[in-house]
């Protein structure tokens, strides 16, 4: 069986290299597409520049990650709704079907108060897109744990029409990704493929180098009726050279393709 699930390279996986490098590496390594992480790199915010890169390298943009990180709170606008709207416009222009979004931070009180309703409203304005809310994790600092998201780090406890399952975040929250996928059910729209050891921090290891059931999760997707894409989201910031970064991204792609094309026996 040959997998039909597209495997994307998240532009965050090439950091500290910039967005353009993600297209170059995706093409060189044979990824099916790119997930653009919108951040402070101007290219990541520019539909024209991204379209040019996509055409030049022959690699489509198949998902857009809205600027939800702490370091991107001023990208485009301090208003989180405006950032989400601009992300949707970017995805629509690039014909990317998925927008990845995080739950609100606890200090974004107005945004958090109306998040579910506002998400429905903006989804109604962009009917061709799926706004996939991502599972997060508690933060541990100075021996203490707190949850910086409202109403929590697990979006299934609120319930949304679409979800992104992040396996590294599962490790950081001491959650089994297969169980999280079960909770997401038919609303599972997108996967961030990484790994972690469960040490309580977000590691984004190459899949297979941590303790999450990455292979089992990928093999289970066919039986779940999954119609989305899998984006490799791993950290290569510690890579000593471009060659080492390429090796890690090639290993992640090979892992994904191997297990996506080998469904679980009950799914075959």
What is 80-127 written as a DSSP string?
Answer: HHHHHHHHHHHHHHHT--EEEEPPPBTT-HHHHHTHHHHHHHHHHH-T
180-216 tens-digit pLDDT: 999 999 999 999 999 999 886 789 999 999 999 999 9
48-105 tens-digit pLDDT: 999 999 999 999 999 999 998 777 777 888 899 999 999 999 999 999 999 999 999 9
pLDDT of residue 77: 85
- The Cα 26–Cα 185 span in angstroms is 30
- Token output for 199: 């040490």
Residue 97: closest CA among 190, 185, 208: 190
Confidence band of 171 (pLDDT split at 50, 70, 90): very high
- The Cα 249–Cα 40 span in angstroms is 23
Residues 263, 219: contact at Cβ < 8 Å?
yes
pLDDT of residue 3: 46
Task: Determine the 3-state secondary structure of 233 from DSSP.
Answer: coil
Look at residue 266 and tell me whether its pLDDT is greater than 90.
no
pLDDT of residue 1: 35
Q: Specify the range with the lowest mean pLDDT, choosing from 150-159, 201-210, 256-265.
A: 256-265
Look at residue 132 and tell me whether its pLDDT is greater than 50.
yes
């Amino acid at each position: 069986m040959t997998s039909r699930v597209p495997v994307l390279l998240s532009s965050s996986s090439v950091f500290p290299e910039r967005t353009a490098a993600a297209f170059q590496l995706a093409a060189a390594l044979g990824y099916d597409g790119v997930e653009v992480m919108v951040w402070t790199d101007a290219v990541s915010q520019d539909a024209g520049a991204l379209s040019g890169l996509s055409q030049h390298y022959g690699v489509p943009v198949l998902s857009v990650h809205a600027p939800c990180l702490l370091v991107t709170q001023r990208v485009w606008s301090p208003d989180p709704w405006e950032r989400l709207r601009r992300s949707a416009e970017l995805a629509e222009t690039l014909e990317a079907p998925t927008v990845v979004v995080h739950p609100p931070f606890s200090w974004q009180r107005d945004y958090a108060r109306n998040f579910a309703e506002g998400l429905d409203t903006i989804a109604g304005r962009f009917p061709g897109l799926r706004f996939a809310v991502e599972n997060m994790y508690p933060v541990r600092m100075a021996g203490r744990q707190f949850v910086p998201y409202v109403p929590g780090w697990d979006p299934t406890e609120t319930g949304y029409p679409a979800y992104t399952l992040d396996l590294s975040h599962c490790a950081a929250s001491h959650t089994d990704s297969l169980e999280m996928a079960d909770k997401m059910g038919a609303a599972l729209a997108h996967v961030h493929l990484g790994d972690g050891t469960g040490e309580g921090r977000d590691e984004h290891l190459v899949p297979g180098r941590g303790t999450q059931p990455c292979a089992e999760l990928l093999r289970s997707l066919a039986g779940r009726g999954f119609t989305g894409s899998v984006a490799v989201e791993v950290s290569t910031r510690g890579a000593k050279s471009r060659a080492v970064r390429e090796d890690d991204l090639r290993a992640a792609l090979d892992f994904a393709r191997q297990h996506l094309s080998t469904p679980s026996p009950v799914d075959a």
